[in-house]
Amino acid sequence: MTARRLRGDDGRVSLFLAAGMIGVLAIIGLAFDGAGQLRSMQRADNLAAEAARTGGQSIDRAKAIEGGPKVIDQVAARAAVDSYLDAAGVTASSVEFPVVGGETLVRVHVTVTYDRYMLGFFGFGNTVTVSGEATARALTEGP
């Protein structure tokens, strides 16, 4: 049996490989969770837009049938927005009715939480909160 003589640089390749793999995993985590966060931002914007559209369809029918202006019924619009967002699983939202140029609009703000899969291992938080906002108005043009 022959004894193997160790050199001073034995094992350095393994250490370099381990450090390199941590860097590669961090880059993959940034790409994966970054894309997930962007998808969540898009989802929040889409949910806000659809909820605002749903609320914008809630007009005061009595005034509209009589030939009056199409005015958003705020109570019905808030109920429609809340119903839509509840069905979509959104728990954090707000509805406002700003008046612009004499016309009442529906503005919906939605908050969505994204659960990170990989970046939590590298010291980032396990979740990130993103939000979306959209405004809708009742269509007032006639046929």
For 43-101, write each residue's pLDDT tens digit: 999 999 999 999 988 887 777 778 777 888 899 999 999 999 999 999 899 999 999 88
E-only strand ranges, 23-126 = 92-96, 99-100, 103-115
Q: Which two tokens stand for residue 56?
A: 């914008």
Q: What is the pLDDT of residues 92-102, one digit of tens each?
A: 999 999 998 88
Domain boundaries, the chain: 12-137
What is the overall mean pLDDT for the chain?
84
Of 86, 67, 88, 70, the closest CA to residue 78 belongs to 86
* Residue 33 pLDDT: 86
Residue 127 pLDDT greater than 60, yes or no: yes
pLDDT: is 138 or 87 the higher one?
Answer: 87
pTM: 0.76
* Residue 47 pLDDT: 96
